[in-house]
Amino acid sequence: MKRIATVAEMRELVDAWHEAGDTVALVPTMGNLHAGHMSLVDLAAQHAEHVVVSIFVNPTQFGPSEDFADYPRTPDMDLRRLQRAGVDVVFEPSVEEIYPRGTDGVTEVVVPDLSELLDGAARPGHFTGVTSVVTRLFNICEPDTAVFGQKDYQQLVILRRMVADLHMPVSIVAAPTARADSGLALSSRNGYLNADQLEQATAISAALTVACEALQSGAEDYAQLEHTARAAIDAAGLSCDYVQIRAAVDLSEPGADTLNLVVLAAARLGDVRLIDNMLVTRAV
Ligand code: PAF
pLDDT per residue as tens digits for the range 188-238: 999 999 999 999 999 999 999 999 999 999 999 999 999 999 999 999 999
Task: Report the Cα 93 to chain-centroid distance in Å.
Answer: 20
In whole angstroms, give the CA distance from residue 11 to residue 158: 25
Instruction: Give the C-alpha separation, 246 to 202, whole Å.
Output: 22
pLDDT class of 284 with cuts at 50, 70, 90: confident
Whole-angstrom Cα distance, residue 161 to residue 112? Answer: 10
pLDDT tens figures, 14-30: 999 999 999 999 999 99
Which residues of the chain does CATH 3.40.50.620 include? 2-175
Superfamily of domain 2-175: HUPs (3.40.50.620)
Q: Which atom of ligand 1 is nearest to the CA of 54?
A: 8
Residue from 137, 139, 128, 190 nearest 28 by CA: 137
Say yes or no: domain 188-279 is CATH 3.40.50.2300: no
Closest residue by Cα to atom 8, ligand 1, is: 29
- For 245-257, write each residue's pLDDT tens digit: 999 999 999 999 9
Is the Cβ–Cβ distance between 218 and 283 less than 8 Å?
Answer: yes
Q: What is the DSSP string of 13-68?
A: HHHHHHHTT--EEEEEE-S---HHHHHHHHHHHTT-SEEEEEE---GGGS-TTSST
Q: Determine the distance separating the centroid of ligand 1 and the alpha carbon of 214, expressed in angstroms.
A: 32
CA of 52 from ligand 1 middle (Å) equals: 14
Q: Which residue's alpha carbon is nearest to atom 9 within ligand 1?
A: 130
Where does ligand 1 bind, in terms of residues with CB under 6 Å?
A: 28-30, 58, 61, 130, 133-134, 152, 155
Amino acid at 198: L
Q: How many residues does the chain have?
A: 284
Q: Which residue intervals of the chain bear CATH 3.30.1300.10?
A: 188-279
Q: How far is the CA of 284 from the centre of ligand 1 (A)?
A: 36
Tell me whether residue 37 is one of the annotated catalytic residues: yes
